[in-house]
Structures are given as structure tokens and as C-alpha cells.
Amino acid sequence: MGSPRPLIACGIVLGVVLQGLLSSCALPEVKPFTDATVQLHAAVDISGRVVVKEVQALDQGQAAAAVLAQSWEMRVKLLDALVDYARSLQAIVDAGKKGQENAEKLGAAIKTLGVATNLIVPGGGAAVGVATDIASSFYAQIATVLAARSLEEALDASQPGIEIIARHLSEDIADLEEILLDAVQEQMDAEEEKYQLELGFRLELEKQRKALSGAGIDLHAGNTTQIVEKLKTIDALLAITDRWYLPLQARLVALRQRRDTSRGLIVACQAGIEQWAASHTTLANTVRQRKIADVDELVQTAIDIREHIKKVRDL
Amino acid sequence: MSNEFSDITGVEAWAKKLDELLGVAEQAAEANDGAARRDIRTRLKDFILHSRPESPEISRLDTIASETRTALAMESITERIAAIAKRSSDLVRFTKEFQARTEAGHSRAHLITLEPARKVVATTTATIQALKELQAELSTVQDEPLLRDILQVLSQLQSIRSEIESA
């Protein structure tokens, strides 16, 4: 085995390089983007389903609903891919954070390897231990640097795609909202049209009642009883029409409520797209700006390096 | 409760009113304005509900109003769905792109965790230990070529170890 001096030199060079890298490197919080993606996935999926259902409810809506369902499925698959992408970013960050633990494990494995080879091929023992101590100490920080760089590359490469996707999804959701409004109105109009004759009759009754009430009761004309009787007859007829009119109104109210609830989800989804795209941009910017790493961590790294160099000198 | 239909009487007047509404419907269809289309659809529905008297002529007008209303609704819906479908190919491309990025991201993360390197070292250590045992057994055997081959293998393993050290 050679002299330990090259190891010392190596350690110093690594230290300088790493300090340079670390002074501009930290791993950001990816969770907000992951959460935003998961939420967007759910919102897009459910929005599509409710609108497909409304189109299916139309007499002539089956074919259109099928096309919409098929197209929307592609959005859901895209969101599946985006959730996985967000999780892969999280995996990179986690890998960077896990660096210390795994570097120690690797160091221990290399030392064992050193001992094993030294038993067969003499000359490879002590220096290996020191070298691996240095390497594992550095690797904890190298992992952070690698993770930050990998994250930056992934985010930068994805940013243009994210922007186009956000724009497309935003247009899709705007179209979906229009489809919802059209489909529900068509259902409401069709409901009322089914009762065209009945509604016409009721409208006529209401018109007559208003006319009688508006005319007022003229005591001198002696028509009071006649008017009251007419009003009673109209009220009785209106009460009969209530049998179909009230359930019709209830159905219309239910349709209106369903439309408003679905529209609320779609509006939230639209806002979600904006936030989702913004959180990716923020994440990319954070990584690009490379916020300064924790100073205590850097100081500790420097102490560790000095201790390892001392060990090499004492050999 | 007066509305635009309150003062209309007679088939001719109703026909004239429908003609007016159909003109508005045409404009709304050309303008591709969802709100304007829904507005005229409501007016056509109200036409149907208010038109009087119940006669074959009025019924024909109602049918025209109803068909126009439904056609306008379906046209709006199918146009929007077509617009969504048109954007699909782009999104399918992005789906594939992000699936590839995800795979690359996980591979990168796996490498950063040093797990593959740890496995290589662990395997190499086990191999060396096995060869050490073999060497001990072979020390009693006077087979020079075989011992030379084993030492060559060990030398290669030594190189691997050195590479790991310098990594």
C-alpha cells in the first residue's frame, strides 16, 4: 500500500471543493409541491367525472359524454405521472438527507473489505480505514450536493412542460365549466318543457289571480262575492297543480344546487392549477438560487475533516 | 310578472317573436359566447312555456324553438369537448415525458443513497473471504499454476478495492 500523504492531499482538495459547493447548496422542502400535485390530481379527476355524468344525463349526450370521458382519462393519467414525478423529487431530497447514514454504512463495508484483502494481500489495511473515514464524512455532504444538483436539473428540465401543462389544464377546466353549465341548464330546460302544458295552465291561473287581486274588490259594484269565489276557484286549481309543480320545483332546485357544488369544485380546481404551477416555479427558483447551507453543519464538517487529517498524519 | 311574451297574441305575433329569437340564437352561435347562448336558450324555453293558444300552428313554433334550444346546447357542449380532445395529444406526450423523468429521478436518488456501492463492496468482501478460505485449503497443495491464477484474481480484487478507496 502507498504512503498516506496522497490521502491527506486528497482530503484537503476535497475539503476545499466541498466547502465551495456547500456554501451555495441546501435541499429545499418538496412536500408543498407534492401535496399540491396530489390535490390537483383529485380535483381534476372528480371534476371530470361529475361533468361526464351531467352530459350523460342528456337525451342526446351519450356520444359526447363518451368522448369527454376518454379525453379526461388522459388528464388523469397525466396527473398520475405528475404525482409520481413529484414523489421522485421527494426521493431525491430524501436520498440527499439519507447520505450520512449510508456513507457510514459504506465506510464500514469498505473497512471490512480492507481487512479481508489485507489478510490475503499484505499491505492494504490501516490506510484504507482512514481513507474511508474521510470519504464517508465527505459523502454526507456530497450526497446533499448531488441531490441539490439532481433536483435542479429535474426542475429546470420540467419547468417548460409544467407551464404548458398548466396552461392546457386551465383551458380544459374552463371548457369543463362551460360544459357543466350547458349540460345542467339543458336538463333544467328539458324538465320544464316536459310540463309545458301544465306550466302554461298554471301560468294562466297565476295571471288571472293577479288580475283579480289587482282589480280590487269594489263594494259598490256588488261583485265582491263573485271575485272571492273566482279567487277561491283559482286557489283550489293552483293547489291541484302543486302536486306536480312542487316536485318539479324541487328537482330544479336540486339540479341548481348540484350545478353550484360542481362549479365550486371546478373553480377551486382552476385556482389549484395556478398554485400548483407556481409551487413548481418557486421550488425551481429556490434550488437555482442555492440558499446557503446551515453554518453549524459546515463548521462540524470542517472539524471532522481536521480530525481525519490528524489521523492520517499520525499513521 | 310581465315579460317579453306578456303582450303577444295571435299566431303571427308569436311567429314574429320566434323569428326574432332565432336571429339572436344565430348570432350567439356564431359568436361562440357560452353565456349568450345560455341566455337565448332560456328565452326559447320561456317562449315555449308562454306561447298561446294550444294550437297546431303554435305547437309547430314550439317545436322549432325546442329543437333550436337543444341544438344550441349540444353544439356548445360538443365544441368544448372537441377543444378538450384537441389538447389531448400534447398531454399524452407530457405524460410519457414525465414518466421518463420520474424513472430518471428515482435512479438518481438510488445512486445518491450509495446503496449500489454498498452492495458491490459487501459482495466483494464476501468473495475475498471465500477466496481466503480457498487459499488456505490450497496451501497444502503443490499446484503452482492454480495458485498463480488465484493470486491474479486477488490482485484484480485489490484493484477494485483501490478504485473504491479513490472514489
- For residue A28, whether the previous peptide bond is cis, meaning omega lies within 30 degrees of 0, is no
| Pairwise pLDDT comparison (A59 vs B111), residue with the higher score | A59
* Contacts of residue B163, Cβ cutoff 8 Å, sequence gap at least 6: none
Name residue, grid cell 297546431: B56
**Contact criterion met (CB below 8 Å) for A67 and B86:** no
Measured CA to CA in angstroms, residue B60 lies from B15, B52, B56, B86 at distances of 10, 12, 6, 38
At B157, the pLDDT band (50, 70, 90 cuts) reads: low
List pLDDT tens digits, range B43-66: 999 999 999 888 999 999 999 999
Q: A52, A194, A261: which is closest to B77 by C-alpha?
A: A52
Beta carbons of A109 and B118 less than 8 Å apart: yes
Please tell me the predicted confidence (pLDDT) of residue A244.
95
% of chain B exceeding 90 in pLDDT: 53
Name residue, grid cell 447514514: A101
The CA distance from A55 to B68, in Å, is 18
pTM of the model: 0.75
A11-15's contacts with Cβ under 8 Å and 24+ in sequence apart are: A11/A134, A11/A138, A11/A305, A11/A308, A11/A309, A11/A312, A12/A309, A14/A134, A14/A138, A15/A138, A15/A302, A15/A305
Beta carbons of A203 and B50 less than 8 Å apart: yes
Beta carbons of A132 and B165 less than 8 Å apart: yes
Name residue, grid cell 329543437: B67
Q: Can you read off the three cell numbers belonging to residue A65?
A: 359524454
Beta carbons of A106 and B118 less than 8 Å apart: yes
Q: A173, A185, A174: which is closest to A54 by C-alpha?
A: A185
Q: Residue A116: list chain B partners with CB under 8 A.
A: 125, 128-129, 132
Measured CA to CA in angstroms, residue A78 lies from A64, A270, B103 at distances of 22, 16, 15
Query: How far is C-alpha B48 from the chain's CA centre?
Result: 42
Please tell me the predicted confidence (pLDDT) of residue A228.
84
- Output the DSSP codes for A8-64: HHHHHHHHHHHHHHHTT--PPP-HHHHHHHHHHHHHHHHHHHHHHHHHHTSTT-HHH
φ, ψ dihedrals at B84, nearest 5°: -65, -45
Query: How far is C-alpha A272 from the chain's CA centre?
Result: 7
Of the candidates B94, B99, B157, which has its C-beta nearest A117's C-beta? B157
At B77, the pLDDT band (50, 70, 90 cuts) reads: very high
The CA distance from B2 to B17, in Å, is 16
Please tell me the predicted confidence (pLDDT) of residue A304.
46
Q: Residue B106: list chain A partners with CB under 8 A.
A: 88, 91
| Pairwise pLDDT comparison (A84 vs B7), residue with the higher score | A84
**Contact criterion met (CB below 8 Å) for B45 and B25:** no
**Contact criterion met (CB below 8 Å) for A14 and A135:** no
Please tell me the predicted confidence (pLDDT) of residue A215.
62
Measured CA to CA in angstroms, residue B108 lies from A90, A94, B56, B103 at distances of 12, 11, 76, 9
% of chain B exceeding 70 in pLDDT: 69
* Contacts of residue B76, Cβ cutoff 8 Å, sequence gap at least 6: A178, A179, A182, B34, B37
Interface of B with A in 10-29 (CB under 8 A): none
Query: How far is C-alpha A302 from the chain's CA centre?
Result: 40
Please tell me the predicted confidence (pLDDT) of residue A280.
92
Please tell me the predicted confidence (pLDDT) of residue A4.
46
φ, ψ dihedrals at B51, nearest 5°: -60, 135
**Contact criterion met (CB below 8 Å) for B60 and B38:** no
Q: Can you read off the three cell numbers belonging to residue A173?
A: 377546466
Beta carbons of A71 and B81 less than 8 Å apart: yes
Q: B160, B129, B162, B134: which is closest to B147 by C-alpha?
A: B134
Give the N- to C-terminal CA distance of chain A in Å, as an integer: 13
Q: Can you read off the three cell numbers belonging to residue A310?
A: 490528524
| DSSP H helices in B32-143 | 34-50, 56-112, 115-138
Give the N- to C-terminal CA distance of chain B in Å, as an integer: 87
pLDDT, tens digit only, all 315 positions of chain A: 444 455 444 444 444 444 444 444 568 888 888 888 998 999 999 999 999 999 999 999 999 999 999 999 999 999 999 999 999 999 999 888 876 677 677 667 666 666 655 544 444 455 555 656 655 666 666 777 788 888 899 999 999 999 999 999 999 999 999 999 999 999 999 999 999 889 988 988 988 888 887 665 565 666 778 888 888 999 999 999 999 999 999 999 999 999 999 999 999 889 889 889 988 998 888 888 765 333 344 344 445 434 543 443 454
List pLDDT tens digits, range A143-201: 777 888 888 999 999 999 999 999 999 999 999 999 999 999 999 999 999 998 899 88
Supply the ipTM of this predicted assembly. 0.74
Q: Residue A80: list chain B partners with CB under 8 A.
A: 95
Query: How far is C-alpha A267 from the chain's CA centre?
Result: 15
